[in-house]
Chains A and B, each alone.
Chain A
Amino acid sequence: MKPLVIAVALSACAIVATAQNAAQKSTADGIAEYRRMLEEGNPAELFEAKGEALWSKKRGPKNASLEQCDLGKGAGTVAGTFVELPRWFADTNQVQDLESRLLSCMENLQGISAAEVAKTPFGRGEQANMEALVAYISAASRGMKFNLPQDHPEEKKMLELGKRAFFYRAGPYDFACASCHAADGQRIRLQDLPDLTKNPGDGVGFAAWPAYRVSSGELWSMQRRLNDCFRQQRFPFPGYASEVTVSLGVYMGVNAKGAESIAPSIKR
C-alpha cells in the first residue's frame, strides 16, 4: 500500500513540476512580448529631444553651448562617440565615460560646476539635464558596435582596475558585481542577469544602457545604473563619475566589443 502512495505522490510532483516549467517558459515569452510592445514609442525619445536642444543651447555663467565639446571624435562630433566611451582624453589626461566627459565640457565651456552637478540627486536640476544629454548622445550611436580604444596606457590600466573592481567582494553581503553578472542563465525574479565578463550580445547589458526605466518613469544613465547596483550590493554609494565607476565602464565596454548599442532602450 505504502509504495503505491509514494509512487502516486512522486508522479503528482512530477506533473506539477512540468506544469510549472511550462508556465515559466510562457512567462518568459509573456515578458518578452510585453517588452516588444513597449519598444515602439519609447519615452526615452522625449529625453533625446530635450538633450538635443540642450546641446546647442547657450547656458551657464559663460553663456556657451556644448557644441564645441570633444566627446572623443573631435570638437562637436556626437555621432559614433558613445560606442567608444570610456576613453582617454588628452586635455584632462584622464579616462572618462560619457557623464564624466559631459561634466568636463559643462565646466570648461559653460562654467557649470562639475562638483555641484555630481552632488545633485539623480533626476533633479542639472542631473535631469545630464539624463537628457546622455539620451541624446547615446541615441546618436544607436545601431553602432562598441569599439572602445585600448591604445593608451591609461586605458589599459583602467581596464585592469575595472576588472578588479568587478570581482571585488565587499559589503555586508559579500557581493561583487560578479555575484550576479559573471555567469550565464542567472536571473533575479523576472529579469535576466547578463554575463558582463564577456560580450553578452547585441543590445544586452552594457549595450542596453542608458535606458528609460518604466518603473520610475525616468531615464537612467549608466552612472545611475551603477549607483543602483552599488546600492543593491549594500555598498557605499560611489562618487558620481568617479574613477571606479569609469573603470567598470571600461571593463564592461571592452568586454562588449562588437555588440550593437540599442541605447537609449526601455527597461522595466
Chain B
Amino acid sequence: MHTRRDMLSQSAKVATMLAAAGFLPSLAQAQSDGYNKAAFDAKTINDAVKAMGAQAPSESKDVTITGPDIAENGAVVPVGASTTVPGVKRLLLLVEKNPSALTAVFDVTDAIEANVSTRVKMGQSSDVYAVALTNDGKALFAKKEIKVTLGGCGG
C-alpha cells in the first residue's frame, strides 16, 4: 500500500529528474529555486524585495500599478503591474499595510508581456506597489493608494 509519504517522495524523485532534464519550468528557471518563503513572510516592502535578492526599490515612471481608487470590499481588490523597462525578470505586487507585504511574484519571460493582473486581499486602506526586478538586480516601483471600505448591509 502506498502511503502519502511514499507517493510524495516518489513524486519528489520524479520532479528532481524532470528538473534535471529541464522539463519543469519553475525549477529550470535560474532564480526560482522553489517557494521563497522568506519573501512572503517579510513584513515590509523593502524586506520583501531584499529577500527576492534585489536592492531597495526606487520609484520609476516606467513601472505602472493599476487598481481602483476605492475598493468596496478589501477581500477582492483588482490590481495590475506592468512595465516598459527592458530586461525585466520579475514583477511583484505588494500591499504595504498587509501583515506580510508581498502578495504575488510573476516571472517574466520573453514569451509574455511584462503586464499582469490579479486580485488581492487588503486588510485596510494602503499603498499598493508594483515592483519590477531587472536582470541586473535593480528594483523599480510605482505605487498607488487604494482606500478600502467595508461594504454595508445592502446588496
Instruction: Show the binding face of A for B, using Cβ within 8 Å.
Output: 26-27, 30-31, 33-35, 37-38, 180, 187-194, 205, 208-209, 211, 214-215, 217, 225, 232, 267-268
Contact = CB atoms under 8 A, between A and B. Distances in A.
B152 A190 contact: yes
Given A37-B78, A38-B76, A214-B75, A189 B68 contact: no
A232 B153 contact: yes
Interface string B20-61: 000000000000000000000000000000000000000000
A162 to B, nearest CB: 19
Nearest to B153: A188
A180 B153 CA distance: 11
Given A187-B154, A191-B151, 16 more contacts: A26-B69, A30-B70, A33-B69, A34-B70, A35-B72, A38-B119, A180-B154, A188-B153, A188-B154, A189-B152, A189-B153, A190-B149, A214-B72, A214-B73, A214-B76, A225-B155
Contact of A193 (B71, B72, B151, B154): B154
A191 B73 contact: no
A157 B50 CA distance: 69
Interface in B126-155: 147, 149-155
B104 to A, nearest CB: 16
A27 B76 contact: no
Contacts of B78: 34, 37-38
Q: Which of B72, B75, B155 has the largest count of A CB atoms less than 10 A from its CB?
A: B155
* 9 A-B pairs closest in CB distance: A191-B154, A189-B152, A268-B151, A30-B70, A34-B68, A188-B152, A37-B78, A268-B72, A188-B154
Contacts of A193: 154-155
Nearest to A225: B155
A224 to B, nearest CB: 12
17 contacts: A26-B69, A34-B72, A37-B68, A38-B78, A189-B149, A189-B150, A189-B151, A189-B152, A189-B153, A190-B72, A190-B151, A191-B153, A192-B154, A214-B72, A215-B151, A268-B72, A268-B73
A166 to B, nearest CB: 16
Given A37-B78, A38-B78, A31 B152 contact: no
Contacts of B147: 30
A39 to B, nearest CB: 10
Contact of B69 (A30, A180, A192, A217): A30
Contacts of A217: 75
Contacts of A35: 72
Nearest to B70: A30
B155 A191 contact: yes
Contacts of B76: 38, 214
B117 to A, nearest CB: 9
A27 B70 contact: yes
B154 A189 contact: yes
A217 B119 CA distance: 13
A9 to B, nearest CB: 30
B97 to A, nearest CB: 18
Interface in B73-88: 73, 75-76, 78
Interface string B106-122: 00000000000001000
Nearest to A38: B78
B71 A34 contact: yes
A43 to B, nearest CB: 9
A33 B68 contact: yes
Nearest to A208: B155
Nearest to B80: A37
Nearest to B118: A41
A194 B71 CA distance: 21
